[in-house]
Structure 1
Amino acid sequence: MTRLVLVHGIAQQHKGPHSLLADWYPAFADGLTLAGAVPERGDVTMAFYGDLFRASGHRGLGEPELDAFDVEDGIERELLLAWWEEAARAERQVPGPDMAARVRTPSVVQRALDALSHSAFFAGLAERMLISDARQVRRYFTEPGLRAAVRARFLDALTDRTEVVVAHSLGSVVAYEALCAHVEAADLTLITLGSPLGVRGVVLDRLVPAPHHGRARWPAPVKQWTNIADRGDVVALAKDLAPVFGDRVTDVLVHNGAKAHDVRPYLTARETGRAIASALSGSGPR
């Protein structure tokens, strides 16, 4: 019976719930150990939905080839530009966007992709993978059937014994929306890692339920919420969620090194382990 539910983000379509949990679990256990807690693997499950984004078979090898001409206007374009602007702000080696040149697609998208190739944050990520990642975010927000199926996977992982939800990246959006709709659950602790929930325009304004006058609804089943972000995390553009989701959110900054958005340094952080251990002990935030 699951006490902790983990929720992954984008780009996990070639894994499965067991392989992904095996990948996450050592880092998860290390964070709890640093906080003085004893992890129990049987208490943890992975809410897995990556296969819902897996492409059907095609004649090519690997991921389908994508380039700037394949980037759609709207979410895909705006997300790539947001990543570019944030990477340029955080890293000197990344050339910044020329605002006067941001009027044409795909030319401006190609400039964004070229600039992101200089980013340590996106090091080693091929152009087609950047586009694929942005496409998964777009599909989640624009395909109602897919969105419902992803949320259903998360809700299926919850049990009557679930006490803590730890959600990374797009997984934090999935968990937030599902918990807002699933009022039958109660007394859960939500811990978000590298969350894009506060990113206006691309994410925040597309949430269900929609924010009202700039304020988002509190998910009723959640009794406490800790949001953890690395200052250099390009995906978590808005590091503090409390201004939008309410002052019951505890915002915490951590330092993840070069892999600012990687879930593993988030999980090994003492701050994350402390938040999880505190919730499991019933002592609340410390």
Structure 2
Amino acid sequence: MTESSAVVAPLAVVAVHGVGNSFGRGLTIAQREERRRLRATAWTGHLAAGLDVDPERLDVDFAYYADRLDAATGPPAQGLGPSQVLADPLAQEMMESWAGALGMSRPPAQGHLTLPVRQLTSWIARRFDLAEGPLRIFVQLLFGEVATYLRAVDGKERVAARDEVAARIVRHRPRVVVAHSLGSVVAYEALHATPDAGVELFLTLGSPLAMPGVVFERLDPAPAGASPAARGIRPAGAARWVNLADPGDPVAVPPGLANVFDGVHLDHTSVVGALFGFHHAKNYLRSAVTAATLSPYLDALPHRHGRGGKDERDGEESTTP
């Protein structure tokens, strides 16, 4: 192929999902891969719509890790006990820390008691003008998966989920990693574990990375320094880090990651969705801020041989499948 016939490569992206993305148990490998492909297609469509470009300009690989958490996030972990508290003690503890981070005050007489899910979701629904029913389901799902992932640094679920995301990054060699919700935590740790990944942009959406008492103190690597001055750091596997949080998103608490992480280049707070759409990946992916952040990376360098051939970005053989 001659120099004049060089084509522009699509922007390589690894997408890392948040909570509530389980494909279900009992799937064959082929069924799992088909659902992962469909999810990649959906994320491609959302990003392309925000950017106002043809979806072919994007090459999105969907890093699916939810099945690594499935075994531990079934009904016992997510369900409620007789007193309407989360059955998993760690999930309950995390939920109560989250309530404190959101500014929920509790009468001293109840200080030693566990906080019922219904009481918390009723308070959040009033504060953020949300529908309480879907919120209650979401809270159980959120803390079931977050507790499973963060329970232990060397927990088998955590290692498996992080390794799956790291493997997708190494295999796909993306310029950009886009991570939503809990996915931003998994991707943060995966990029720390792959310092030579060569990712140009790490874009976090609706991220709970800075959530005190729930996520921040449990990260691996652990934040450096003594509390409350402890700080995390941008993963060496990413050259640039941009964060976006909807001000009405109670999962992105606090919304500004730069307050506790070094190496965050831009911290955006912008409305991406109304009502319960505050945390939906679709709204974050289609937002104007996401589009403005990704747009410069669409101007990919010429790629003469297409996928699987010689990659002019670094002169090495491409490992993209």
- Give TM-score scaled by structure 1 length: 0.81
Does the 8 A contact of 2:205 with 2:244 survive in 1? Answer: yes
Three-state SS of the structure 1 residue aligned to 2:231 is coil
Mark the runs of 5 or more structure 1 residues left unpaired by the alignment: 90-95
* 1:279 aligns to 2:297 (yes or no): yes
TM-aligned CA deviation for residue 178 of structure 1? 0.8
* Equivalent in the alignment of 2:198: 186
- What is the distance in 1 between the residues matched to 2:205 and 2:300? 21
* Equivalent in the alignment of 1:145: 156
- What is the distance in 2 between the residues matched to 1:85 and 1:245? 17
Aligned CA-pair RMSD: 3.0
- What is the distance in 1 between the residues matched to 2:139 and 2:130? 12
1:187/1:168 Cα in 2 relative to 1: closer, same or farther (>3 Å)? Answer: closer
The aligned amino acid for 1:46 is: F
TM-aligned CA deviation for residue 249 of structure 1? 2.4
The aligned amino acid for 1:221 is: G
Three-state SS of the structure 2 residue aligned to 1:223 is coil
Picking from 260, 264, 271, the partner of 1:244 is: 260
* Equivalent in the alignment of 1:27: 46
The aligned amino acid for 2:111 is: V
- What is the distance in 1 between the residues matched to 2:300 and 2:44? 22
- Give TM-score scaled by structure 2 length: 0.73
- What is the distance in 2 between the residues matched to 1:4 and 1:53? 23
- What is the distance in 1 between the residues matched to 2:79 and 2:94? 21
Does the 8 A contact of 2:79 with 2:86 survive in 1? Answer: no
- What is the distance in 2 between the residues matched to 1:233 and 1:163? 27
Structure 1 residues 1-286: aligned runs within 5 Å: 3-14=12-23, 16-33=35-52, 37-40=53-56, 43-55=59-71, 65-67=79-81, 68-80=84-96, 82-83=98-99, 86=102, 97-106=105-114, 108-116=116-124, 118=126, 120-121=129-130, 123-125=132-134, 127=136, 129-143=138-152, 144-158=155-169, 159=171, 161-213=173-225, 214-256=230-272, 257-258=274-275, 259-281=277-299
Q: How far does the alpha carbon of each residue in 1:49-81 deviate from its partner, in whole angstroms, 9 at most, with x for none?
A: 12223359x9x9xx9753424444444333255
- What is the distance in 2 between the residues matched to 1:206 and 1:255? 28
Q: Which stretch of structure 1 is more off in the superposition, 220-229 or 274-283?
A: 274-283
TM-aligned CA deviation for residue 99 of structure 1? 3.9
TM-aligned CA deviation for residue 131 of structure 1? 1.9
Three-state SS of the structure 1 residue aligned to 2:278 is coil
1:8/1:80 Cα in 2 relative to 1: closer, same or farther (>3 Å)? Answer: farther
Does the 8 A contact of 1:3 with 1:43 survive in 2? Answer: yes
Q: Which stretch of structure 1 is more off in the superposition, 143-152 or 241-250?
A: 241-250
Mark the runs of 5 or more structure 2 residues left unpaired by the alignment: 1-9, 25-34, 302-321
1:99/1:178 Cα in 2 relative to 1: closer, same or farther (>3 Å)? Answer: farther
- What is the distance in 1 between the residues matched to 2:117 and 2:111? 10
